[in-house]
Structure 1
Amino acid sequence: MTTKFLRRSIRILVLNPNSSATMTHGVEDAIRGMDLPESVEIYTYTAPADSPASINDEDDIQASCEVVYRDLATSGTLQEYDAVLVACFSVHPLVKKLAGLQGSRGKLVVTGIFEASILASLSLLVTPPVGSPPRKWGIVTTGKFWESHLAQGVSHFLGVDPNSDNTKFAGVESTGLTAGDFHGDIDPRVIRQKLEEATGRLLDQGEVDCVVMGCAGMAGLEEIIRSTAIQKYGEERGNQVLIMDGVKAGIGLLEQMVRNKRMFQKA
């Protein structure tokens, strides 16, 4: 009797580098709504308890990196996967550090929801006629720290001068909340108000075609952004605005990255 291998799956680990299981559950809910082929298997990971419960500044970024890298680099867990998505909307050092580790079939394919959102946004912007204002994308995020952190990160990722005018990037607007607030005890009316205000400021920057949710904890809050876009741009135009969840963008990108790696890398 002989057997025949029929399907080669892609195993992706969605990595929450903070220690909030509640936030991971929110990300899982968003993933369940995705239309994915059966060959793509998604798994989630929540950082150990000594990682920050909410990543709100540079110290939290570094602390989460140290805790998660120590845990994963010594456990061998990553050898079960083809790709890893770092589900923290930041310039997170885990993206580079984990890319050097072995996965199930060679080096891991790794990206972050920040990087994936940039690439997805740019790929979806429509080029306007010559002489027309550029179509833009921008980010709505949590605290004030992230405005400069993410704006500088965008410039670095795209390889452009941070002091130059990036005509397609509308910038970063913050709500003043933390990542934990979106799934904590804060009054939902406060969350709505602050997210509406930040989204409104971003949409005022011009022809914004894509609003990126700059925090994994924002998963499920698309309706607030959509209603603000309709208020600002009218129903027809507001319904055309893309509202991007970085986790979904990252999974879609990683699936294609793994397929491309298998296609183009020497066997």
Structure 2
Amino acid sequence: MPSQLVKGKTTKILVLNPNSSQAMTDGMLTVINSLDSAYSTEIHTYTGPSSAPASINDGNDLEESTKAVLADPSFLDSPFDGVVVACFSAHPLVPSLQNRERHLAVTGIFEASIQAALSLLRPSETWGIVTTGKFWEKHLTDGVKEYVGAYKVDENEKFAGVESTGLNASDFHHGVDPAVIRQKLKEATKRLLAKSEIACIVMGCAGMAGLEEIIREAAKEEMGEKFAYNELHVIDGVRAGIMQVEQQIRYHRLIPGRS
């Protein structure tokens, strides 16, 4: 008798870069290719159209990138199971897709990183974000509080805050001396580590993909090698997003009409 398929279903995930920088999308490939889920999951990438900002640096860029992607009929050109919005922000594209494409599992790398960080902390430990420009310090701080259902004026004893490098997302791939990037990223990391008992640092920009080692170098200089390489969690948002959306897809398939 011929074999019969008893169990198994291909999972297809779209990692969606809402800006128009192909270089930034390409920069995520190191992280994507490092995931062992690649053997059971198809991961596709998409870069925003030319009408989207080349780098998302403020609130206007967030809105413009959302409009550009939603106006592009090609961004969902295949029957995907889930979408990861690869912009580290409270990006309006996340709720827009969650409402418009209700059959899909959708998350952003910002939201997925928050969940990952909180799941890793012991009772007295905290987490924080190292990001790019000054705009993001308030935007991400407010976004964290809103995501966990807290008032913006309230303090969060688990969240140590946001430290910025003063760079833009595009600077990590275009024109800025790597030595300058390394220095600024290490300085921001050290400021964050000085705030409290940090156990988890989130890299708050998709453009930082692959730069985990710089974070650990800074931690080693401040806290020692054991802390940097045996205790500190460094979360890459793209990795967290893919892992989170895979889990969401599994839960979606538990709904009888979607299995």
How far, CA to CA, are the matches of 1:79 and 1:44 in structure 2?
12
Q: Secondary structure at the match of 1:263?
A: coil
Shift in CA distance, 141/247, structure 1 to aligned 2, threshold 3 Å: same
Aligned match for 2:129, one of 139, 164, 174: 139
TM norm structure 1: 0.91
Shift in CA distance, 76/99, structure 1 to aligned 2, threshold 3 Å: same
Q: After superposition, what is the alpha-carbon deviation per residue over 1:34-72, rounded to whole angstroms, capped at 9, x for unaligned?
A: 11152211000000111100000001000000000111x
Structure 1 letter corresponding to 2:147: F
How far, CA to CA, are the matches of 2:76 and 2:250 in structure 1?
22
Match of 1:225 in 2: 215
Q: After superposition, what is the alpha-carbon deviation per residue over 1:206-265, rounded to whole angstroms, capped at 9, x for unaligned?
A: 110000000000011111100111111111122211110000001001101101111245
Match of 2:79 in 1: 80
Any conservation in 2 of the 1:142–1:215 contact (CA below 8 Å)? yes
Match of 1:4 in 2: 4
Q: Secondary structure at the match of 1:137?
A: strand
Q: Secondary structure at the match of 1:161?
A: coil
How far, CA to CA, are the matches of 2:195 and 2:234 in structure 1?
16
Q: Secondary structure at the match of 2:142?
A: helix
Match of 2:26 in 1: 25
Task: Determine whether 1:186 maps to 2:186.
Answer: no
Shift in CA distance, 183/154, structure 1 to aligned 2, threshold 3 Å: same
Please report the RMSD computed on the Cα atoms of aligned residues, expressed in angstroms: 1.6
Shift in CA distance, 143/37, structure 1 to aligned 2, threshold 3 Å: closer
Give the alignment of 1:65-144 within 5 angstroms: 65-71=66-72, 74-75=73-74, 77=76, 80-102=79-101, 107-127=103-123, 134-144=124-134
Number of aligned residue pairs: 256
Any conservation in 2 of the 1:213–1:245 contact (CA below 8 Å)? yes
Q: After superposition, what is the alpha-carbon deviation per residue over 1:70-127, rounded to whole angstroms, capped at 9, x for unaligned?
A: 11xx44725510100000000111111112334xxx6111000000000000011122
Q: Percent identity?
A: 53
Structure 2 letter corresponding to 1:107: H
Task: Determine whether 1:203 maps to 2:202.
Answer: no
TM norm structure 2: 0.94
Q: Secondary structure at the match of 1:251?
A: helix
Any conservation in 2 of the 1:138–1:169 contact (CA below 8 Å)? yes
Structure 1 letter corresponding to 2:167: L
How far does residue 148 in structure 1 lie from its aligned partner after superposition?
Answer: 0.1
Structure 2, unmatched stretches of 5+, are none
Structure 1, unmatched stretches of 5+, are 128-133
Shift in CA distance, 124/265, structure 1 to aligned 2, threshold 3 Å: farther
